[in-house]
């Protein structure tokens, strides 16, 4: 385990500039997604549509390649469902944006409830309040997105993707910065 950590630290130190550069690029891309949430939402919706179409086609091809295994019909049906769902997202992008936003809102509400339940299960353990706060915030975000439907479908997904990309960028910048401040450990013979 110590070797893995030592190797990771060494890699971070040797490539610190690349990690910081990638982090800055991600921060800029995430900022663009937040500034242009409709474009980011539409891009994400189209990306999901293509993933479903490609995944469905692969599933159907696989079903015909291994017909004998007994799951042929189910695999074909699943593949067709994925192709149809992806096609709907691609041919009707605004409706797809609404559908994905509804899914996102429901996911946040359910996730918030699950986190709150987990928090009460963890109580009185240190930090349980943070889990509860995260659950409450997730639930509030879900309710706010739901309350603004269908207009929230024009910005919610893009905004959340942008925030996520910015957080990933800052994570890389902070990781590289902290690794640069650590002395490299020398192996003992």
Is 77 inside a domain boundary?
yes
- What string of pLDDT tens digits covers the 189 residues of the chain? 667 777 777 888 888 899 899 999 999 999 999 999 999 999 999 999 999 999 999 999 999 998 887 788 889 999 999 999 999 999 999 999 999 999 999 999 999 999 999 989 888 888 889 889 989 999 999 999 999 999 999 999 999 989 999 999 998 898 888 876 665 554 444
Is 3 inside a domain boundary?
no
Please tell me the predicted confidence (pLDDT) of residue 45. 92
Is 17 inside a domain boundary?
yes
Cα(103)–Cα(151) distance, rounded to whole angstroms? Answer: 15
C-alpha to C-alpha distances, 126 to 25, 104, 123, 131, nearest whole angstrom: 36, 30, 8, 10
Question: How remote is the C-alpha of 106 from its chain's centroid?
Answer: 16
Is 28 inside a domain boundary?
yes
Please tell me the predicted confidence (pLDDT) of residue 189. 43
Please tell me the predicted confidence (pLDDT) of residue 179. 73
CA distance between the termini of the chain? 18
Is 85 inside a domain boundary?
yes
Q: Which residue range forms the structural domain that includes residue 97?
A: 9-180
Domain count, the chain: 1
Whole-prediction pTM value? 0.71
Is 117 inside a domain boundary?
yes
Cα(55)–Cα(80) distance, rounded to whole angstroms? Answer: 10
Is 4 inside a domain boundary?
no
Is 185 inside a domain boundary?
no
């Amino acid at each position: 385990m110590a070797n893995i950590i030592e190797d990771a630290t060494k890699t971070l130190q040797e490539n610190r500039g690349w990690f910081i550069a990638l982090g800055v690029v991600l921060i800029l891309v995430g900022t663009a997604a937040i500034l242009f949430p409709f474009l980011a939402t539409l891009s994400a919706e189209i990306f999901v549509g293509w993933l479903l179409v490609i995944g469905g086609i692969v599933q159907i091809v696989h079903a015909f390649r291994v017909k004998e295994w007994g799951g042929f019909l189910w695999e074909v049906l699943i593949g067709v469902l994925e192709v149809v769902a992806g096609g709907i997202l691609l041919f009707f992008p605004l409706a797809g944006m609404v559908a994905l936003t509804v899914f996102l809102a429901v996911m946040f509400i359910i996730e918030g409830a699950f986190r709150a339940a987990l928090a009460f299960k963890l109580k009185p353990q240190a930090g349980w309040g943070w889990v509860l706060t995260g659950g409450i915030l997730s639930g509030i975000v879900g309710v706010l997105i739901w309350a603004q439907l269908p207009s929230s479908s024009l910005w919610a997904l893009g905004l959340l993707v942008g925030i996520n990309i910015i957080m990933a960028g800052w994570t890389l910048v902070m990781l590289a910065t902290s690794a640069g401040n650590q002395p490299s450990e020398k192996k003992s013979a």
